[in-house]
Amino acid sequence: MTKTRKKTDLPILGVHERVINASLLLFTKQGYFKTSVPDIVKASGCSTGSIYHHFKDKEGIASALYESLVMRMNLALDEIETQFPSSKQRCQAVIKLLFHITETEPEVMEFILYAKHKEFLPGNNPICSSRPFQKMREFVTAGIAEGDLQPIDDLVASASLYGGALRLIFLRLDGVIEHSLMDKLDDVWKCAWRSVAA
Amino acid sequence: MTKTRKKTDLPILGVHERVINASLLLFTKQGYFKTSVPDIVKASGCSTGSIYHHFKDKEGIASALYESLVMRMNLALDEIETQFPSSKQRCQAVIKLLFHITETEPEVMEFILYAKHKEFLPGNNPICSSRPFQKMREFVTAGIAEGDLQPIDDLVASASLYGGALRLIFLRLDGVIEHSLMDKLDDVWKCAWRSVAA
DNA sequence: TTGACTAGAACGAACGTTCGTTTTATACTA
DNA sequence: TAGTATAAAACGAACGTTCGTTCTAGTCAA
């Protein structure tokens, strides 16, 4: 018997999941600091006491949310690594993945990319030092070592390869771009690859 | 006789400037919501009453700060426009400008790029719709029209051209890059231009 | 009966803001 | 020039609100 499914076998979400889900929506819609604990209580349907039984404090909620999203990202990147052999294919798959998440779960992308985590997660590393972003850079570094990419600074190469795509994601999240990023995937990739291809 | 220099002709900063300067440092160092009005009082050396005499409220301070930085940016971009005739030169100058500001006044770049303005400036447009960013895109659009750049979607071209540089700026502000971005300027520009050059 | 969990009223601290007062600069008068 | 009147600016204690958190009472399954 798992920890979150005690009373029944019905697919009723536990407090932890309900709070995390509600917080993701609230944090991305109105920001961490403009989201009060009472807001989370209302949106999650859990009581204050319940929430504080499962989480140390408000920051703990954000922290758990952050961890879960980073973990999801890691799994997806690991899958890309096993599925594709070449650096080129991997980098392309990464951009496609990021675009896909942006279109299907914009809140997830927004929380990962746009939130100024250091403001409310003082302990955490900056997002760009977190494992998913490291992995993305590793793909690039490997590409340079294999001679597929120009022999330039890893960070410059990585920024050039992913920078365009990430910028478009910001524009999409801000509402500047109105149509699916998927439409632009090919063009974006052509530009990205051309910028660093050997 | 100006409004801010009555008592003497000495270059003593007025309340407005002192508050703006202090707030830029505080907002970028600890974030808007973790900066209290008493914090600003201490850092600026102005009293609470004084501050509320010059600004409507705390949000008004952030708003004035935002406006002043956007205006500075506009002036700099206008100068680039008059100084350089070709789109290529203009775009290159933009990246150099952004790198220069990042190195000499990181707080300015941080506030412009990194702050989630919509959290505390509900009225304002997203930063990427503001005039400076529009102007940056205009340079790219002109380049496409003139045939210097590939005939692709403006937004894709713009994102590809500036995306790498902006990504490096984020990395620099986050402390991931330890040396001056100026060292990487040439490589970054080569990648950026290669990504969209006709 | 016990122990894990839920509930929501209550609490103190900290916040942004207001307000009555004092200080300073300027304009006017004689 | 000296004296007075007026307005603008600065001040900071005090206010009401809202926040994150705690606490005590209660529920329910085992």
What Å value separates CA A120 and C1' C20?
38
Contact list, A165 vs chain B (CB under 8 Å): 159, 163
3-state secondary structure of A125: coil
A26: closest chain B residue by CA: B119
> What residues does A149 pair with on adjacent strands?
A197
Q: Say if A61 falls within a structural domain.
A: no
Q: What is the pLDDT of residue B129?
A: 77
Q: From the alpha carbon of A58, which nucleotide's C1' atom is closest?
A: D20
- pLDDT tens across A62-97, in order? 999 999 999 999 999 999 999 999 999 999 999 999
Please provide residue A49's backbone torsions phi and psi, each rounded to the nearest 5 degrees. Answer: -60, -45
Residues B46 and B80 in one domain: no
**Percentage of residues in chain B with pLDDT exceeding 70?**
94
- pLDDT tens across A23-72, in order? 999 999 999 999 999 999 999 999 999 999 999 999 999 999 999 999 99
Q: What is the pLDDT of residue B121?
A: 82
Residues B173 and B143 in one domain: yes
Identify the band that residue B10 occupies on the pLDDT scale cut at 50, 70 and 90. very low
Q: What is the pLDDT of residue A115?
A: 72
- pLDDT tens across B35-45, in order? 999 999 999 99
Residues A35 and A98 in one domain: no
Q: From the alpha carbon of A56, which nucleotide's C1' atom is closest?
A: D21
Which tokens go with A91? Answer: 């980098």
State yes or no: pLDDT of B8 exceeds 70.
no
Q: Do B192 and A160 touch (CB under 8 A)?
A: yes
Q: What is the pLDDT of residue A3?
A: 35
- For the packed helices B154-173 and B185-196, what is the interaxial angle rounded to 10 degrees? 160
**Percentage of residues in chain A with pLDDT exceeding 90?**
82
Q: What is the pLDDT of residue B143?
A: 96
State yes or no: pLDDT of B9 exceeds 60.
no
Q: What is the pLDDT of residue B11?
A: 46
Residues B110 and B181 in one domain: yes
Point out the residue among A119, A159, A195 whose CB comes nearest to the CB of B34. Answer: A119
Residue of B146, B143, B187 whose CA lies nearest to B165:
B187
Residues B191 and B103 in one domain: yes
Q: From the alpha carbon of B6, which nucleotide's C1' atom is closest?
A: C25
Partner B contacted by A119 (CB < 8 A) = yes
Q: Say if A36 falls within a structural domain.
A: yes
Point out the residue among B119, B159, B194 whose CB comes nearest to the CB of A167. Answer: B159
Residues A42 and A91 in one domain: no
**How many Cα atoms are found within 13 Å in the side-chain-facing hemisphere of A168?**
33
Residues A187 and A101 in one domain: yes
Residues A72 and A164 in one domain: yes
B194 C-beta less than 7 Å away from strand D: no
Residues B168 and B100 in one domain: yes
Partner A contacted by B129 (CB < 8 A) = yes
Amino acid at B80: I
Q: What is the pLDDT of residue B12?
A: 65
- pLDDT tens across B87-138, in order? 999 999 999 999 999 999 999 999 998 777 777 887 777 777 789 999 999 9
Averaged pLDDT of chain A: 91
Section A121-137 average pLDDT:
83
Q: Say if B88 falls within a structural domain.
A: yes
Which CATH number do you get for residue B44?
Answer: 1.10.10.60
Q: Say if A2 falls within a structural domain.
A: no
Which CATH number do you get for residue B113?
Answer: 1.10.357.10
Which tokens go with B197? Answer: 């050059």
Residues B39 and B124 in one domain: no
> What residues does B197 pair with on adjacent strands?
B149
Contact list, B158 vs chain A (CB under 8 Å): 167
Q: Say if B1 falls within a structural domain.
A: no
A194 C-beta less than 7 Å away from strand C: no
Number of domains chain B contains: 2
Q: Say if B62 falls within a structural domain.
A: no
State yes or no: pLDDT of B6 exceeds 80.
no
C-alpha span between B36 and A113 (Å, rounded): 26
Calculate how close chain B gets to A164, using CA atoms only, in Å: 4
Identify the band that residue B62 occupies on the pLDDT scale cut at 50, 70 and 90. very high
Q: Say if A84 falls within a structural domain.
A: yes
Q: Do B33 and A119 touch (CB under 8 A)?
A: yes
Point out the residue among A31, A176, A194 whose CB comes nearest to the CB of B195. Answer: A194
Q: What is the pLDDT of residue B1?
A: 31
A58 C-beta less than 7 Å away from strand D: yes
Q: From the alpha carbon of A46, which nucleotide's C1' atom is closest?
A: C6
Nearest CA to the C1' of D19 belongs to which residue? A36
Chain C: positions less than 7 Å from a protein CB are: 5-10, 14-20, 24-26
A117 C-beta less than 7 Å away from strand D: no
Q: With contact defined as beta carbons under 8 Å apart, do B56 and B20 qualify?
A: no
Q: What is the pLDDT of residue A9?
A: 40
State yes or no: pLDDT of A1 exceeds 60.
no
**Percentage of residues in chain B with pLDDT exceeding 90?**
82
Residues B131 and B173 in one domain: yes
- The residue length of chain A stands at 198
Q: Say if A176 falls within a structural domain.
A: yes
Residues B23 and B108 in one domain: no
Partner A contacted by B170 (CB < 8 A) = yes
Domain of B149, in residue numbers: 68-196
For residue B111, the tally of other CB atoms under 10 A from its CB is 22
Dihedral sign computed on CA atoms, order A138, A161, A67, B177: positive
